[in-house]
């Protein structure tokens, strides 16, 4: 089983590297660790944490110890912030407008 997982990992890595090396694609693997052309420590830690937690999930599944709770925590940790970003960072917020009209009447005249 581990051999199949390793082969899958190698396949994905080679596919990403081929896309990176192809000048027709806009994929740059180095962007995963850089921000504005400079090394970004937060990006590296984030990428490493993602890799470790993903490997833990695979290991739990291989050993038959995966539960819905573990999967829910993993999803909440990695998918939740992305959904929140999409939902709460809309550039155009829905707005409502209210219009009022004022009419003037003079007393004593019909």
Helices (H), the chain: 2-21, 41-62, 68-78, 80-88
pLDDT surpassing 90 at residue 65: yes
Q: What is the pLDDT of residues 67-76, one digit of tens each?
A: 999 999 999 9
pLDDT of residue 9: 85
Q: What is the pLDDT of residues 7-53, one digit of tens each?
A: 888 998 899 889 889 889 888 888 888 888 888 888 888 888 998 99
Angle CA 47–53–58, to nearest 5: 125
pTM here? 0.61
């Amino acid at each position: 089983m581990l051999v199949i997982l390793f082969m899958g990992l190698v396949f994905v890595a080679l596919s990403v590297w081929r896309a990176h090396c192809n000048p027709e694609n806009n994929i740059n693997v180095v962007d995963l660790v850089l921000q504005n052309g400079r090394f970004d420590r937060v990006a590296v830690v984030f990428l490493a944490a993602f890799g470790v937690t993903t490997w833990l999930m695979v290991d739990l599944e291989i050993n038959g110890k995966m539960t819905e709770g573990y999967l829910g925590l993993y999803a909440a940790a990695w998918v939740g912030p992305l959904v929140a970003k999409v939902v709460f960072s809309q550039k155009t917020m829905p707005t409502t407008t209210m219009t009022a009209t004022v009419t003037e009447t003079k007393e004593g005249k019909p």
